[in-house]
Chains A and B, each alone.
Chain A
């Protein structure tokens, strides 16, 4: 009997179906491919995506989006007018011109003020629990929106310049594909003809199924899914979406030639190619010392250029109405300025920014008290934010998933909708 010609199970069939070749399975995959093309335009129309701009370290939102000029906690920055119904920091002049597309939630109030816990909580809508891992934004959204893009051959969840959050109980196949902002993907070249790669994979599959059968304790199909995706992207023309270098110089300069700028440009390319979720990381917000000089000279110019370019570019390409943009970090920073002229971790009252998709722009949601130490309106949590973002993408958070131990699991921690954002 030939192991190369007779698929012995779903696993091998999946592998082979992705490789151009002469086998029966491969042929049927090709036929299916044509059907996809016919529907491509239709699908593209309904295709939603999200881009998360992740501010690692915990950004000082009191200095950016919810300023307190004149208050003892206000800091030295001045507010400026925007194209939306709010004022923001003077060091974000280009973003100010895009605020009609973006809304600020000023009443975020959370409890996790440690980096790791906060990162987990804001990415998943759940507080960390040592016994279960919850899926993060990227895993949930890519998992739920994959049906809209059956022809997608590249990873549906890309993390640029950071590591984002994990897939939790959705499984390794939904973990982030991490790249640096130059879009370079390592180890992509096989230099082996397809037929031989297919034969190698048949041998690999044989070893895999034997081991899984002996131990009976493996997410063996998990590994198979990852390998399948790997083969798929290795042989895909869609990988050209990662070649951010091919962008015209003018657009590179508009986004900023720093890592975050190029990362945002890459995010736009990926979304354009059909990737449903991209996270771009900008670190360096953990400003316990000397915060205002750092913000003014380093963080804000970078953020201003890239974030404004992204919104503007998406709008000009007609993509903004289908692309949700979310800006946040793990928490905000203390209104009180400490002895080192810095601000410390603060989760009780802070802001994040939402725009694009079906969300209303130009608004502020909620408010903090005059010195920024507490929320004065209905407080919103990570659960609420995630529920709202999912809603904006047409993803139901009522859906019940089954965790590995058969426990029914919800996504986004059962939050409530932030109604004001929904048009």
Chain B
């Protein structure tokens, strides 16, 4: 295991800093000059700098290379860097090393499958929830949803095409079936029940940032949307049905198929296919398909006359809310807070903190033909994304955790997702995945399911206990992942680290780089020395203790 040693010594050389091992070296290497940054990035920097000026805030210093490297790996491909990846990056002398790394993670074939799996996981959770498709009776096929998104992200399908797919998809939910189209899994369990109200509210909220669920039953006092608009939007989904397909053998549901069928309307006239809804005072009213901006389409329910979902998708493509919503979503993904809270409520009652920036980013994203990788590049190279997660006297005013509007004057710490933790543990312990991709994904999903709590509503609401509370602490203390990571048997991770380290100190340094992307402090070396004594000089057992401590630390579990 010569590799380990080389990696560690390389890091030691390049990251030496005056503070003697207390911290890694602080280097500023985003770009040689601001000119080389994408113009949109410069635009972000200018707007955010103006915010700082307006609020008289002094931003945090830039994060050092190692911390930033860990950050960008987690956000872009869903895991921390390996020690090799980290030391290679820190050792680079190029002035453009940060933009080079973003470029590598986004465009190098070596990272395509991890990038795709990471974003497929995020979008799958967003569209069908963490528990979607886990119930045997569910029409959703989770593998199918994941596969659709993996393919999208692996081929960098543009965002507008992706949304168009998801809104208009027809076909079968399950990979390997004749009419398989994974995109149908978004709507397949949202159209049959309750007249497709769930399709209505999910589509408008997730893709347009319009919260309409309250207006299903009444005009909401804080929301511009009215009941009428809800049922008009709902009308676009009324040709859509999910059909159960049974397996020949045991008559169990094998999969589902999403189809567009003629809609006779609730008055029984397909030429004039209207829907009824009831006001709170008992009066019945009528709605036809009308988009949020007032655009009407033909009232016919015959699919051959007008395919309502196709029409809806076309109209959504014209909507500025489509652009704003995805920009807000991705900004929040990287920066920890969006321009609105919650991020998927862009209604007029909920003004954005940086309205011009949101609008300009949205416009630029449209000009860039909805290339998600471009948007990711703009944000990850921007100044606020480079900052350390340090609160100082100069920026303590900027504290969104207590309800202030975010000013992005430091990197806001947040906990890794359960998915990121899982993948990071695998990388940190050099585990070689076993089985096919689908088997690995299912193994991971089984592990993840321990944190999901459902709410018992028809809308499939759920919460996660992976939130820093006791169940999570128990999992990190004693769970299978930690147990495996701290094993000391032959050819275990710690065995390999011990074998390849010239000294216990060397081994401890390796573990800190692997878990925390930094070298140990003097005090941490000190406690390792004491553990060495307590373990009667058994280096592997000492490493097991230190590794356990590292994996249980805030510094490990937080994205910072």
What residues make up the interface of A, taking CB atoms closer than 8 Å to B?
A: 1-4, 56-58, 113-117, 119, 130-132, 155, 162-163, 172, 175-178, 185-191, 196, 199-204, 206-208, 210-212, 214-218, 220, 222-223, 226-227, 229-230, 233-234, 281-286, 288-289, 334, 336, 338, 340, 344-346, 403-405, 407
Contact = CB atoms under 8 A, between A and B. Distances in A.
Nearest to A196: B545
B455 interface: yes
A186 to B, nearest CB: 6
Contact of A177 (B342, B399, B470, B552): B470
Interface residues of B, number: 69
Interface stretch (B144-152, B254-262, B456-464, B490-498): B456-464
Interface string B526-553: 1110110010000000000110111011
A204 B553 contact: yes
A91 to B, nearest CB: 19
Given A189-B478, A289-B194, A211 B470 contact: no
Contact of A115 (B390, B459, B531): B459
Contact of B403 (A119, A132, A188, A201): A132
B253 to A, nearest CB: 19
B229 interface: no
A153 to B, nearest CB: 12
B390 A216 contact: yes
14 contacts: A3-B530, A57-B456, A113-B214, A115-B455, A162-B454, A187-B479, A200-B549, A203-B546, A206-B523, A207-B553, A208-B554, A211-B554, A234-B474, A234-B477
Contact of B458 (A132, A190, A286): A286
Contacts of B278: 336, 338
Contacts of B463: 163
B454 A283 contact: yes
B306 to A, nearest CB: 25
Interface string B488-530: 0000000000000000000000000000100001011011101
B413 interface: yes
B478 A190 contact: yes
A333 to B, nearest CB: 11
Contacts of A212: 554
A162 B455 contact: yes
A77 B193 CA distance: 25
Contacts of A281: 456
Given A178-B453, A229-B470, 9 more contacts: A56-B455, A162-B456, A172-B469, A175-B468, A177-B469, A199-B545, A204-B549, A212-B554, A218-B413
Contact of A200 (B213, B350, B399, B548): B548
Given A216-B391, A336-B278, A403-B402, A283 B457 contact: yes
Contact of A206 (B218, B462, B465, B527): B527
Contact of B469 (A162, A175, A190): A175
Contact of A282 (B390, B456, B461, B527): B456
Contacts of B454: 162, 283
Contacts of B560: 215
B410 interface: yes
Contacts of B388: 215
B368 interface: no
B217 A345 contact: yes
B389 A215 contact: yes
Interface of B: 23, 193-194, 213-214, 216-218, 278, 282, 341-342, 350, 388-392, 399, 401-404, 410, 413, 450, 453-459, 461-463, 465, 467-471, 473-475, 477-479, 516, 521, 523-524, 526-528, 530-531, 534, 545-546, 548-550, 552-555, 558, 560
A369 to B, nearest CB: 14
Nearest to A176: B469
A242 to B, nearest CB: 13
A217 B553 contact: no
A407 B399 CA distance: 14
A267 to B, nearest CB: 17
A207 B555 contact: yes
Nearest to A405: B402
B63 to A, nearest CB: 11
A334 B350 CA distance: 29
A250 B126 CA distance: 44
Contact of A199 (B403, B404, B462, B531): B531
A170 to B, nearest CB: 12
Contacts of B213: 114
B477 A187 contact: yes
A210 B341 contact: no
Nearest to A232: B470
Nearest to B512: A207
Contacts of A229: 470, 473
A404 B391 CA distance: 15
B477 A3 contact: no
B390 A214 contact: yes
A204 B456 contact: no
B554 A217 contact: no
Given A207-B555, A218-B554, A404-B402, A223 B468 contact: yes
Nearest to B454: A283
A163 B453 contact: yes
A92 to B, nearest CB: 19
B456 to A, nearest CB: 2
A217 B387 CA distance: 14
Contacts of B521: 210
A226 B469 contact: yes
Nearest to A127: B222
Contacts of A210: 521, 523-524, 555
A340 B196 CA distance: 13
Given A230-B473, A404-B402, A340 B194 contact: yes
A214 B391 CA distance: 9
Contact of A288 (B193, B462, B516): B193
A64 B389 CA distance: 53
A308 to B, nearest CB: 21
Contacts of B468: 172, 175, 222-223, 226
Given A186-B474, A223-B468, A344 B545 contact: no
A130 to B, nearest CB: 4
B380 to A, nearest CB: 20
Given A187-B478, A204-B549, A215 B390 contact: yes
Question: 9 tightest A-B contacts by CB?
Answer: A283-B456, A56-B456, A405-B402, A131-B403, A130-B341, A217-B391, A163-B453, A203-B549, A204-B549
Contacts of B350: 130
B534 A288 contact: no
Among A2, A155, A215, A217, residue most surrounded by chain B Cβ atoms (within 10 Å): A217
A233 B457 contact: no
A229 to B, nearest CB: 6
Contacts of B465: 163, 178
B390 to A, nearest CB: 5
A207 B524 contact: yes
A171 B413 CA distance: 16
Contacts of A116: 461
A336 B277 CA distance: 13
Contacts of A217: 389-391, 410, 413
B453 A162 contact: yes
B473 A130 contact: no
Among A200, A204, A207, A283, residue most surrounded by chain B Cβ atoms (within 10 Å): A207
A186 B530 contact: no
Among A116, A185, A233, A338, residue most surrounded by chain B Cβ atoms (within 10 Å): A116
B341 A211 contact: no
A199 B534 contact: yes
A80 to B, nearest CB: 27
Contacts of B401: 404
